[in-house]
Structure 1
Amino acid sequence: MADKFGQFFKDTLKEILVEHVKELKNQSEIDKFYEKYEKADFSGLYLEMINDTSNQMVRDAKMIMHENTLLFRGEETEIIARIEQKWSNAFATSETMYMMVLESVKDYSDYVNKIDNKEREKSIHKYTALKYIHGRGLQQFLEIITLMKNGFADGAYSRWRSLYELNIIASFISEYGEEVAEAYISSHNTEDRYEWARACGEFSPKKRYISFDDIRKKSNFPSELWQQPYRISNEVTHASSQGTFNRLGLMDGEEKISVGHTDYGLTIPGEHSAITIAQLTGLLLMVYPSGDSIIAAKMLNKWIDVVREQYFKTHDYIFPDEPKLWNNEKNLSLR
């Protein structure tokens, strides 16, 4: 594509040149003018015209921005509606899970508020820490759903990364108990991200810094099973070459640069977010276990199967040429 402004600048100078030459009286004046013209520096004029033109473009854009935005929103609404139409059953399972978790935690909170004070005090710091971590995680789960419904698979998986990390922290606190939970709560007004974890007594005093990976290795969480998904989520989140060229929202081999909504790649964040929020909720519900909280945790774990089935089947239906994700015999045997 030609440089439109560059051509415009050249044409403008040429017009000025032609008009000026017409006013000259003889060939000698014309030759002198051409000589000066060839040596002239037009860089200042060029920059001035760039500035004037860009200012005019801003003024023009402001005049029509509302009309253009309405057109953009109309097109965007159509795209999102098509994604919703295709993935409706899958999205419904995620949204239902969000409501299930919210209702279960509300009931559980009421239960905890009514138990004996002495009993509650035994694990009050762990309960408080996990309650706040869970609240943050549940909001992130809703963010993931919202991003998926808008066709942003990469963004959804980036948010899953944070949800997964909260799960690791919650597992660590759940395992090491009150002293660690109290240290975690107390550190929220400091600049130390993970120094609170020293309260577990598992780290050498000679160790200068505590990292998230240190906590992961000490937590009672099967993080080894999640190494590949976590690596991919890191690539998606950070400015890596892998995350730039291997987009979740694009099929393998597609020579495209995704800059907007896509209907591909939603299965991974859909399934993984369901598993992670169920795990995180289970940790909270087991601080003061009851029959109701155990049932709620079991229900959420079983709902993962419903989520997986709908996302896998929807993917297989929309993308028939892609490898099948749902195998009735194989998937049902996992239940």
Structure 2
Amino acid sequence: MDKDYLFNMCVESMTDYLSEICQTQKEFDEQFDKYFTEDFLTKMYKLLINSVPGKVFSFWLDECSKYYKEDQEENFNFQEYLENIWGHGFELSNLLYSVILDELDSYSRRLETEHKDDLPGNKYKCKVLQLLANRNLQTYASILCLMQNGFGDQAFMLFRNMFENSIFSKFIFESNEQTAKAFYEAQNKDIKSKDDFSWVRYSNKFDKNERISFKKIFEKCKFEKNYADIWYGQYKLACKLLHTTPQGTSKTLCSNPTADEMFSLVGQSPFGLNLAGEHSAIILEESTRNYLCLFYDEKSLVFTVAIHKWIGEIRNVYYEITKKFEEDTDNLKQSK
């Protein structure tokens, strides 16, 4: 864009006008010098400031449908491109969503018949674990939608929420009924309340005046050390991406791994979808298992074993796709 947008617009407008009414170049120059005064420019600037934004707005309004259709067509073509690369992974992820949705519904109905004698002493724990499992499944669906549209960073940001849901689910699963009841009843607290973790005190796992954080809740859960170190590190990576940190602002999971320069991504990318695809599937399995294992039955046992095997297949497929895609991209770069 020119340095002085409005000034150039004034000159162009006056040039067009004088070109129409002047017969000779001499007449044009005389008229130009006559009109081109400070008072004239001031008036023109005010006129343009008042009229140009309205014209721009009208142009956008007229062209809105055209731009939308063009963007939709471009997005459709990009989704086809993504399908050619990641399609098998998307298929496995989508089936995971569908079968867990069906099993959560089936298990909830079985609770009312096959486990009705177990419910009275676990009413709140059952309800909260169900809510957290449902919430994670819904978030997982959102992650799949973002992945299928080439938004790997945003998909991984949502993994952060899934991880927190899963940790709360495990903490409540391992705690008493009073903890679950406190969590459930906290939904009615003032949204401006600063103590979002007051419910965990009913677990008797924290000192009376101890300051509670998500990390402390995480540390109270029973994990193997290697598991805890790896997954909390991945959680912090997602936090860096989500929050306005120097790393999250200037770096992206979705850059071409063979690219030399750093850039800030705006738009869709075929890179970096594997991390959200793998991690969210693993965490979805855990929050689902916490709910299904509250009252074990044979159907739940068969389902959890099968799902664990399916998660392994998802991880293998995303790994192989990523490896092949990066190799193809690297070979393409070297051939140029």
CA distance in 1, matches of 2:309, 2:32: 89
Q: 1:303 aligns with which of 272, 296, 310?
A: 310
Of residues 245, 248, 256, the one that matches 1:240 is 245
1:196 to 199, 203, 228: 199
Cα deviation code 1:255-299 (max 9, x no counterpart)? 443211111001101110111001111111111111211221111
Which residue pairs with 1:159 in the alignment? 158
**When the two structures are superposed, what TM-score results if normalisation uses the length of structure 2?**
0.84
CA contact (8 A) 1:316 1:322 kept: no
Deviations 1:51-74 (A, max 9, x none): 311110111111121122111111
For residues 239 and 42 of structure 2, what CA distance do their matches in structure 1 show?
46
How far apart, in 2, do the equivalents of 1:203 and 1:230 lie? 23
C-alpha distance in 2 between matches for 1:254 and 1:59: 39
* 3-state SS in 2 of match to 1:308: helix
Contact 2:115 2:295 in 1 (8 A): no
Alpha-carbon distance in structure 1 between the residues aligned to 2:87 and 2:41 = 60
1:62 to 1:175, Cα distance in 2 relative to 1, 3 A? same
| 1:251 maps to 2:270 | no
Question: For residues 64 and 12 of structure 1, do their structure 2 counterparts lie closer, same or farther at Cα, with a shift above 3 Å needed?
Answer: closer
Residue 245 of structure 1: how far off its partner (Å): 1.8
2:9 matched residue in structure 1: 8
1:147, 1:62 → 2: CA distance?
A: 28
Q: Cα distance 1:22–1:49, how it changes in 2: closer, same or farther (>3 A)?
A: closer
- Amino-acid identity (%): 24
* Kept after mapping to 2: 8 A contact 1:93/1:307: yes
Q: Structure 1 residues 154, 116: closer, same or farther in 2, change over 3 A?
A: closer
| CA deviation vs aligned residue, 1:161-211 (integer Å, no higher than 9, x gap) | 10011001111111112110000000001134211111112222223x532
Shift of 1:81: 1.2
Match of 1:130 in 2: 129
Pairing 1:278–2:285 present = yes
Q: 1:249·1:264 contact (CA, 8 Å) conserved in 2?
A: yes
Q: Partners of 1:70 and 1:16 in 2: how far apart?
A: 37
1:133-182 deviation per Cα after TM superposition (whole angstroms, max 9, x unaligned): 11011000111111101110011101111001100111111111211000
The answer on whether the counterparts of 1:80 and 1:261 sit within 8 Å (CA) in structure 2 is: no
Q: What is the TM-score normalised by the length of structure 1?
A: 0.84
CA distance in 2, matches of 1:12, 1:299: 73
- List runs of 5+ in structure 1 lacking aligned partners: 25-29, 324-335
How many residues were matched structurally? Answer: 312
Alpha-carbon shift at residue 227 of structure 1 (Å): 2.5
